[in-house]
Chains A and B, each alone.
Chain A
Amino acid sequence: MPDLRFLIVDDFSTMRRIVRNLLKEIGHTDADEAEDGVVALHKLRNGRFDFVVSDINMPNMNGFELLTQIKADDKLKHIPVLMVTAEARKEDIIAAAQGGAAGYIVKPFTKATLEEKLANIFKKMGW
């Protein structure tokens, strides 16, 4: 598996820290953070990232808008986006999948769930 660089997008610093620590425990130590979609998009366009873990309900630009922007950008659309969110409406889950999300985790979640979803995505990506 290549060394992957993650971008964690969430407006709550506590959640960014939790996801970052979990990724570290799973073996992924290279990660950066963004507090909303606008900051995330700026970082994605000005740096190298292999994977995005994003919340949905955020100010300025929410996770759906960020996903749309990523998938519409030729230079970014190959990056898998895993949604980790408290949004539990079926229509939101379907919208995320149809919008190109690589996976969907509903909060609260466990380390095993994150590990499993990442493994599934890595397998699909051939990593």
Chain B
Amino acid sequence: MDQHTHEHQTEMFQRLGRITRQLHDALNELGYTPVLKGAVDELPDARSRLQYIARLTGDAAEKVLNRVDEAKAEQDAVRQHSQQLLDTIGAVPGLKWAMPELLEWTQKIQHSTERTDAHLTEIMLAQDFHDLTGQVIKKVVTLAATIEEQLLQLLLESAAHAQSEAASQPAGLAAPALAARREPLSGPVVNPEGRTDVVTDQSQVDDLLASLGF
């Protein structure tokens, strides 16, 4: 590092120190330091509340899936029994003519079990809300952690007795932690209106891929 660069950096750090000092004074004069501290204190609570929602919705989705599994098994048993009954009716000569309602009801039961099974499949698929909302909650939790870290940093740097050298050390330590949290993937699109860079349904995915020759 040459002398000029060193002087330039020293001057830059001194200016940053003055800005930090001014910010600290402004926060104190305006009475914002306690407000800032309050916000920092509340963020872990907000994070844990979001995690609580994610846990509860996850548990609820699992309970629904368990019930769907049981209901599907029972529906399948009813379907098999009704099929056996249909086979019996078909095997006994004259039975379907003697008791036409027996044949009709058995067929209705069979159709009903098929429809119910389709409904159960839809209920099962609807539990994907846990995955989609969970991803959004995860992103908000990460964002809250980042904001908390940055606000905490701001409080540290504006502390009345902080030395400029001492204040610079946590800033250096905080950077990699923030970088590690940053996620390049965007997750579910919460607000697709007016956006041209995202798709909103499967047909748009298929059209896009087809237009590119895939």
Contact = CB atoms under 8 A, between A and B. Distances in A.
A108 interface: yes
A105 B202 contact: yes
Interface string B178-214: 0000010111110010000111111001001100101
A97 B214 contact: yes
A91 interface: yes
Interface in A79-107: 86-94, 97, 104-107
Nearest to B186: A89
B47 interface: no
Given A15-B131, A97-B209, A107-B132, A86 B197 contact: no
A122 interface: no
Interface residues of B, number: 34
Contacts, number: 95
Interface in A57-95: 57, 62, 86-94
A30 interface: no
A93 B209 contact: yes
Contacts of A15: 128, 130-131
Contact of A88 (B69, B121, B198): B198
B124 interface: yes
Contacts of B187: 57, 86-87
Contacts of B61: 14
Given A88-B198, A93-B205, A111 B128 contact: no
Interface in A5-19: 10, 12-15, 17-18
A106 B202 contact: yes
Nearest to A21: B124
